């Protein structure tokens, strides 16, 4: 079982729809990252969370530490949001200090 | 301010050769991380350098190695290339100190390595 699970794997939405991507993890963490990867491969960090909720423009990220779960929401989705969204956790146990553990990503396609 | 820069953007090598990938972190960042993203797979942690020292490495064979220079830039070397080493290699940097930190990581655009 992967330490970081994302759902769904693939998501197709119509422009304007509200989108939710989920991430569950099984290890102790000090922070959770939401990343965006465009087809060229480069990765942009969207959010880093250790508790609560963060908002940036149309993007909202929440985390529930007790339930080991995070969600990324996109309001009023747009075709330019089409990308792979990756959840990554920074674990806090000794053997993995310093590295991120990644989910397999959610491929989002927003149709006009 | 320049972000994390990686070179080259694309690299084609023959099986058995060596590949060298380079990464320059954001100014002021002392930690550099290397990740491999093979086709169809998620990102896998390779190596973490901080202040010139290797701090941690992922589950990869010893032919994956690297170093960090005094200016905090880093090289990833892959020896005896195999076909399955074909992947996107991403570098990230973060500001850090000796203790574990949970600051944001900034990624480069990656080097796409193709082994033929």
Confidence of residue A91 (pLDDT cuts 50, 70, 90): confident
**Residue B101 reports pLDDT greater than 70:** no
Find the length of chain A.
112
> Looking at chain B from residue 48 to 87, which residues have their Cβ under 8 Å from any Cβ of chain A?
48, 50, 55-56, 58
CA atoms of B20 and B36, how far apart (whole Å) = 14
Whose tokens are 């820069």? That residue is B5
Is B41 an interface residue toward A (CB < 8 Å)? yes
For residues A96-106, give the mean pLDDT: 79
Q: Does the distance separating the beta carbons of A86 and B43 come in below 8 Å?
A: yes
Nearest CA among A8, A20, A21, A23 for reference residue A101? A23
More confident residue, B6 or A29: B6
**Residue B102 reports pLDDT greater than 60:** no
Residue pLDDT, tens place only, B14-73: 999 999 999 999 998 898 999 999 987 888 989 999 889 998 888 899 999 999 999 999
Question: Residue B99: its pLDDT value, please?
Answer: 41
Confidence of residue A1 (pLDDT cuts 50, 70, 90): low
Residue pLDDT, tens place only, A3-19: 899 999 999 999 999 99
Q: Does the distance separating the beta carbons of B45 and A41 come in below 8 Å?
A: no
Residue numbers in A near B31 (CB within 8 A)? 98
Mean residue pLDDT of chain A comes to 90
Question: Residue A41: its pLDDT value, please?
Answer: 74
Strand partners, B106: B93
Residue numbers in A near B4 (CB within 8 A)? none
Q: What is the dihedral of CA A31, A36, A40, A42, to 10 degrees?
A: -30
3-state secondary structure of A78: coil
Q: Does the distance separating the beta carbons of A50 and B102 come in below 8 Å?
A: yes
Question: Residue B89: its pLDDT value, please?
Answer: 96
Is A84 an interface residue toward B (CB < 8 Å)? no
Structure tokens at A15: 């422009």
Strand partners, B77: B20, B65
Question: Residue B98: its pLDDT value, please?
Answer: 45
**Residue A93 reports pLDDT greater than 70:** no
Nearest CA among A51, A55, A56 for reference residue A68? A51
Q: Does the distance separating the beta carbons of A100 and B33 come in below 8 Å?
A: yes
- Taking the CA of residue B8 and the nearest CA in chain A, the distance in Å comes to 14
Q: Does the distance separating the beta carbons of A96 and B56 come in below 8 Å?
A: yes
Confidence of residue A96 (pLDDT cuts 50, 70, 90): low
Most A CBs within 10 A among B87, B96, B105, B113, hence the mutation to make, goes to: B105
CA atoms of B18 and A64, how far apart (whole Å) = 45
For residues A70-93, give the mean pLDDT: 92
Confidence of residue A92 (pLDDT cuts 50, 70, 90): confident
Is A99 an interface residue toward B (CB < 8 Å)? yes
Number of CB atoms found within 10 A of residue A99's CB:
24
For residues A72-97, give the mean pLDDT: 86
């Amino acid at each position: 079982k992967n330490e970081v699970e994302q759902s769904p794997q693939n998501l197709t939405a119509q422009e304007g729809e509200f989108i939710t991507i989920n991430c569950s993890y099984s290890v102790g963490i000090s922070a959770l990252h939401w990343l965006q990867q465009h087809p060229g491969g480069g990765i942009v960090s969207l959010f880093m969370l250790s508790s609560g909720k963060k908002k940036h423009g149309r993007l909202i990220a929440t985390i529930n530490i007790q339930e080991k779960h995070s969600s990324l929401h996109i309001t009023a989705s747009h075709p330019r949001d089409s990308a792979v969204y990756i959840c990554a956790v920074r674990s806090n146990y000794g053997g993995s200090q310093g590295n991120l553990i990644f989910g397999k990503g959610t491929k989002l396609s927003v149709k006009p | 301010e320049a972000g994390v820069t990686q070179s080259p953007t694309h690299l084609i090598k023959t099986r058995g050769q060596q590949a060298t990938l380079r990464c320059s972190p954001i100014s002021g960042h002392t930690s550099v991380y290397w990740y491999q993203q093979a086709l169809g797979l998620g990102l896998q942690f390779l190596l973490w350098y901080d202040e010139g020292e290797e701090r941690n490495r992922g589950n990869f064979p010893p032919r994956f190695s690297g170093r960090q220079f005094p200016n905090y830039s880093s090289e990833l070397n892959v020896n005896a290339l195999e076909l399955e080493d074909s992947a996107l290699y991403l570098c990230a940097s973060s500001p850090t100190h000796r203790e574990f930190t949970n600051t944001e990581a900034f990624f480069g655009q990656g080097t796409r390595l193709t082994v033929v």
